[in-house]
Amino acid sequence: MTVYLVQGDAGSQVKAIITREDTGLPVDLSDATPRLKFKKKNTTTVLATITSIASSPDDLEAGVAVFAFTSTHLDVAPGEYVGEIEVSFNSGSIETVYEQITIMVREDY
């Protein structure tokens, strides 16, 4: 998946539906905290960790996570970035989505 964002914007959101690879069923996020780690492509430094904003109970059960970017998150040079979704469950287990999100940031006019 590729997401296109504009440098410095304060209202951008990324919605992801997290499903199980083996069954295709959604991951119930009711008892979990999804986070998006944002970094420049081909680097190791995480620029931001964005916690999913509150969703309805139905959305959480359906695996829906919404990540809201602020102008601070997008105060970066134009270019290609990647996002990794990590889900921390209240039981203490952590699962990371294997597929990364490509994030293209362009300069604002």
> Residue 16 — very low, low, confident or very high, per pLDDT cuts 50/70/90?
very high
Residue-wise pLDDT for 31-66, tens only, equals 999 999 999 999 999 999 999 997 788 999 999 999
105 in Cβ contact with 2 (< 8 Å):
no
Which CATH number is 2-106's, of 1.10.10.10, 2.60.40.3350, 2.40.50.180, 3.40.50.150?
Answer: 2.60.40.3350
pTM: 0.91
Task: For residue 53, give every residue at least 6 positions away whose Cβ sits within 8 Å of its Cβ, in sequence order, or none.
Answer: 13, 66, 67, 68
